[in-house]
Amino acid sequence: MKYTLIVLLAFGMLMTACKSQEMVPAEQPPVEEEPIVETEPEPEPPGEEIRVVEERFTFETAEDEVTHDENMFFVIVGSFIQKDNADRFMETLRNQGFDPVILMSETGFHRVSVGSYEQEIPARTRIQQIRTNYPDYHDTWLLIRKL
């Protein structure tokens, strides 16, 4: 019985010794999470993506340049090689309540713009409004002025 007690005692010490060698994760200081800042989501186009082109251009008239020269983002509803076609399209747009201007692209196209903006999000929002309210202009796109 004496030996049994010694064996049990030795066995208990071995078990205690094994546990002490187990990996115990060290306590880590709590990590402070940065607060989540919600931003206005960019509107998603219904159906198809908004085409974006970056190019240099000039304004057709000095008046248009004075009015829109500070802006970088232009809403384009039409693009024509022939100026006469762009002029006719502008008249149609005026009859629909738009205030269009012609931008002469570096590639030779007459871009018909119905809005210009300093920031991209308002320009994209306007494109969405036009696509929704004027289904004929479902292919309205964004022109970014290249400096």
Span 7-26, pLDDT tens digits: 555 555 555 554 445 555 55
Tell me, yes or no, whether 22 lies in a domain: no
Tell me, yes or no, whether 109 lies in a domain: yes
pTM above 0.75, yes or no: no
- What percent of the chain lies above the pLDDT cut of 90? 63
pLDDT at 77: 97
Q: What is the strand order of the sheet 57-59 is part of?
A: 52-55, 141-145, 73-80, 110-117, 101-105, 57-59
- pLDDT tens track for 46-93: 557 999 999 999 999 999 998 898 999 999 999 999 999 999 999 999
- In the chain, DSSP assigns E strands to 52-55, 57-59, 73-80, 101-105, 110-117, 141-145
> Residue 91 sits in a domain of what CATH number?
3.30.70.1070
pLDDT at 79: 96
Tell me how many domains the chain contains. 1
Which domain does 126 fall in, by range? 52-145
Task: Report residue 93 CA to chain centroid gap.
Answer: 28
Tell me, yes or no, whether 43 lies in a domain: no
At residue 147 the predicted structure's pLDDT band, cuts being 50, 70 and 90, is confident
Tell me, yes or no, whether 66 lies in a domain: yes
The mean pLDDT value of the chain amounts to: 81
